Structure 1
Amino acid sequence: MPSDLTPLLAVDSPLDDARRALVNDLFAREQRLMDALPTDDPRDAKRRKRVELTRTEIAGQPQAVRDTLAAGREPSRRAAKELATAGLKRIVMTGCGDSLAVMIAARQLFEDLIGIPCEPIQALDFAYYASATLGPDALVITLSSSGTTTRTVEAALIAKAQGARTLALSNTPGSALMVESDHGLPVLAERKGWPTQASTAALAMLLQFGLDLAATMGRHPERVERLQADLDAMPDRMAALTEACEGTVADLARRAASRSIFLFAGGGPSFATALFGAAKVKECSPDHAIAIPLEEFHHYNSQKSGDPLWLIAPDGPSVARARDTAFEGTRWGGEVIAVVTEGEVALDAHAGTVLRLPAVPEPLSVLLTSVPVQLFAYHLAMAKFAAADAAEA
């Protein structure tokens, strides 16, 4: 097996022969999938089909969240019961792409309720650079929709080889990730379009596990009860928000269709929404999109004249800095679209558009704030397809 593919195939790898063979097979599969990806041709039919399927999956994500929570509740409780007595001192949350964003979104709830350090980290960085200090007091949580994302499976394998506990989330029962992990939680979602419900349903499942772990450990029972009620209500809130905001978001997308770079910023869990928004624009359209941590926006001239900036700022500690960001973005001549909690007016004077979302606890807020950025990416792509078709006619 070629060791130049990954350090985990080198002679000093802690993996046994069977798991080395698994990693090698995953690399070969990944190469085949890369060859089948859509292009950035403005009228690429393969990309258009995935964009169209994405809209269907956005509409279906409230039901995907319901189904996932229902199917995953017992596996989550079983895993929580075992892990609550494991003497955990550290949780590592790892994945790639949207899966990493899910981990960033979940961190606040885990740390607030369970009270131990939780570190979201990209799967390659974890597997190749940051796994040496693992032991039985660490839990490594992984997420891959297919269950075969090479770097994520590598992360799970190296975690087990180092003696850590492992928990996987995946849409694919029987996949390598689920089989190789100590515990598995199901995600009941479609991913024929670009990932939307596969990410939000996975986030809901991970948040549910966090609540179950905190409850089993006897941590903050009143807060856990309140958050559980809010999580159970989230599918209905997501459905209502999709209907309420789509017209406004579609208008924003049509007005922005001539632009070629899009910015998304947020702090804390809202940086996950920024990552989701940038990823959906890059997947759905042939354009550039960048997710910027809220504070980092201020350390460079991040926004240029005319650039659209989605500023994600639900109720929480970062609202004041988001106000500064909206001020700076407008001063630089950019267009600022602020996503805030209903009743919040701090950004009104500095944002061209303000979308107000229902009030929910900040640790759950990404389930709502992700909806408008998903819809924006879809409508932006369809507007660009329409422009390309008109130019070709």
Structure 2
Amino acid sequence: MVKNDNEVYKSVLEKGLSQRDRIEDAISKIFDENEIRNIFLVGCGGSLAVMIPCKYILDELSDITVNVYNASEFVNLNPRTFTENSLVIVSSYSGKTPETVKAANMAKAKGAPTIGFMGKDDTPLGEAVGFAFANHAETGVTDSKIIMLYQIVFNVLKKRGEYERYEEFMKSLEALPEGLVKVKETVEQRAKEFAEANKDEKQFLVLGSGILDGEAYAQAICIFEEMQWIHAQHINSGEFFHGSFEIVREDTNILILKGEDLSRPLGDRAEAFSKKYSGKVTVIDTKEFELKGIDEEFRGYFSPLVCSAVLDRYSKHIADVRNHPLSKRKYMGIVEY
């Protein structure tokens, strides 16, 4: 039985919104005291995937350079463009991921300003960063983190004089908790049906692009593989036609995420092809869902939050029917690696 956790979920999102003053103070301090020339987004797995939309937004609206790195690669490469004039944003829910903590300490040693996200701030990562934002919760952690990251991103844009609708954006952001709860309620029945239809599946192709590429990546490697032990391949919807579409057959199981950002045509193309050649295609299209109080101009930016809300219910239902809790692991945190 999958419990209804919408009230807890809503309160966690509201907690993320409540960090607005702290975030505005942090960004002001960072940009007033440093000559920020680029931004590095650093983490592993889901904690990395959740930051990918930030690069997409900044690439669209700003001329600042944004780099996304797995923490191990960041530490071992030590990019030449990484200097004391870099803003480093790191994320690890446990606050103990060794490579992420090492990345934060490396930035600290270089004199680069750091912002970190973790479940609890009294952790190695919380102690290593200049500005720590903790979001411990039973559910909604990812969405709460996206809300805080968006506040950072749009503060950066405002501080750099690159965005004039900051207050309007924040007003729409504040309407999200209620809207996302409605999204979850809307998909409850289809989440049950998805779980029943796919409980015995052995493999998924998970497609997404643009602002949803990180969501597709996280669903494939974190949910299906890490938490359900189902083989899954994350594919950028644009790259789908440069290799992976050759393995599509009538029974190929394909999950496509479609947002309302500038990459939507890539999802449309992938959907049209997939439905022509496979009878097992699931599409999550954010355009289907009503979001009261949200300015139409911002819906594309909120596509990851909508998809995350939908996929949360899909994932919890498939875990339930497979009798495989999302917390179950064979290696992670159990053996040396």
The answer to whether the aligner puts 1:200 opposite 2:143 as a matched pair is yes
Q: CA deviation at 1:59?
A: 6.2
Looking at structure 1, the residues matched to 284 and 144 of structure 2 have their Cα atoms a distance apart, in angstroms, of 21
Unaligned runs of 5+ in 2: 325-337
Q: CA deviation at 1:214?
A: 2.6
Q: CA deviation at 1:150?
A: 0.8
Q: Name the SS of the counterpart of 1:134 in structure 2.
A: coil
Paired residue for 1:331? 276
Which residue identity lines up with residue 375 of structure 1 in the other structure? R
Superposed counterparts of 1:110-259, under 5 Å: 110-190=58-138, 197-222=140-165, 224-259=166-201
Q: Name the SS of the counterpart of 1:99 in structure 2.
A: helix
Q: Please report the TM-score for the alignment, with normalisation by the length of structure 1.
A: 0.74
The answer to whether the aligner puts 1:383 opposite 2:321 as a matched pair is yes
Q: CA deviation at 1:326?
A: 1.3
Q: 1:255 to 1:200 in 2, by over 3 A?
A: same
Q: 1:119 to 1:302 in 2, by over 3 A?
A: farther
Looking at structure 1, the residues matched to 247 and 182 of structure 2 have their Cα atoms a distance apart, in angstroms, of 33
The answer to whether the aligner puts 1:296 opposite 2:239 as a matched pair is yes
Superposed counterparts of 1:262-277, under 5 Å: 262-277=204-219
Paired residue for 2:264? 319
Superposed counterparts of 1:58-73, under 5 Å: 60-70=8-18, 72-73=19-20
Q: CA deviation at 1:258?
A: 2.4
> Aligned residues: percent identity?
23
Which residue identity lines up with residue 275 of structure 1 in the other structure? Y
Paired residue for 1:281? 224
Looking at structure 2, the residues matched to 208 and 56 of structure 1 have their Cα atoms a distance apart, in angstroms, of 28
Looking at structure 2, the residues matched to 111 and 228 of structure 1 have their Cα atoms a distance apart, in angstroms, of 20
Q: 1:185 to 1:113 in 2, by over 3 A?
A: farther
Q: 1:114 to 1:282 in 2, by over 3 A?
A: same
Q: CA deviation at 1:187?
A: 2.0
Looking at structure 1, the residues matched to 160 and 262 of structure 2 have their Cα atoms a distance apart, in angstroms, of 27
Which residue identity lines up with residue 377 of structure 1 in the other structure? S
Q: 1:334 to 1:132 in 2, by over 3 A?
A: farther
Q: Please report the TM-score for the alignment, with normalisation by the length of structure 2.
A: 0.86
The answer to whether the aligner puts 1:308 opposite 2:253 as a matched pair is yes
Q: 256, 261, 274: which one pairs with 2:203? A: 261
Greater radius of gyration (CA): 1
Which residue identity lines up with residue 193 of structure 2 in the other structure? D
Q: Residue 309 of structure 1 contacts residue 336 of structure 1 at CA under 8 Å; is this kept in 2? A: yes
Which residue identity lines up with residue 308 of structure 1 in the other structure? N
Q: Residue 111 of structure 1 contacts residue 117 of structure 1 at CA under 8 Å; is this kept in 2? A: yes
Q: 1:280 to 1:59 in 2, by over 3 A?
A: farther
Paired residue for 1:362? 300
Q: 1:311 to 1:99 in 2, by over 3 A?
A: same
Unaligned runs of 5+ in 1: 1-50, 191-195, 343-354, 387-393
Which residue identity lines up with residue 311 of structure 1 in the other structure? I
Which residue identity lines up with residue 25 of structure 2 in the other structure? R
Looking at structure 1, the residues matched to 103 and 5 of structure 2 have their Cα atoms a distance apart, in angstroms, of 29
